[in-house]
Chain A
Amino acid sequence: MTDGGITVEVLLFASLRERVGHSRVVVTVPAGATPGDLWARLGLPGTPPTGLRHAVDGHWVDPGAPMDDGAQVALITPVSGG
């Protein structure tokens, strides 16, 4: 942890992975930041697209959920398996 901030590991898949150019990005964000803040933190333009979901440490969460230092946060675009 750095002063006043937390460090989280962001996981990216499929189209979002290709768009960002990485499958995993470690970012430091202010304490109190939420998964919904990571879209802008990654430098992605505009607001998150409709249907974007978030998971913290493998569990679905709301975009406004808390994140702890060291959390693993996945940004999950609409799934298309099956």
Chain B
Amino acid sequence: MIGLSDLPLDVAAVCATVADDEHGGTAVFVGSTRAERDVRHVTALEYEAFATMAVAEMEHIASHVSRCHGARLAMVHRLGVVDVGEPAVVVAASAPHRAAAFEACRDAVDRLKADVPIWKRVHHADGTAAWA
């Protein structure tokens, strides 16, 4: 499962898509909106994407982790407003053994944050908002 979603993410449903009888380990990363109350209170993040290219880049990442780590990957990112505590992204990687699953998951998240054209706008408790 690779894609973008306007609706809340179902972590278990995303993980289920990488199930494989030959894969003994699944590593999951869930990125959620942080309140950052000690800095400047955040109430929500709002995500925008260059959707066609974002999905293509995510598919490239899935191909990469398959080739380099032997892993199956699921990656779904939210669009729109994501309230504090809600998942903004779910990345699940399954592989025959745990080391490859952890490495694939981390590699995929790092590549997502570097190369997938998605942007976030930070909404603060004082009513202001700014692109991050």
A residues near B (Cβ < 8 Å) are 11, 13-15, 18, 55, 58, 74, 76-77, 79-82
Contacts and interface: CB of A to CB of B under 8 A. Distances in A.
B89 A80 contact: no
A81 B52 contact: no
Nearest to A14: B119
Given A79-B116, A82-B31, A82-B88, A14 B131 contact: yes
B9 to A, nearest CB: 13
Contacts of B77: 81-82
B48 A14 contact: yes
B131 A15 contact: yes
Contacts, number: 59
B120 A74 contact: no
Interface residues of B, number: 25
Given A58-B52, A58-B56, A79 B115 contact: yes
Given A13-B48, A13-B50, A15-B131, A82 B119 contact: no
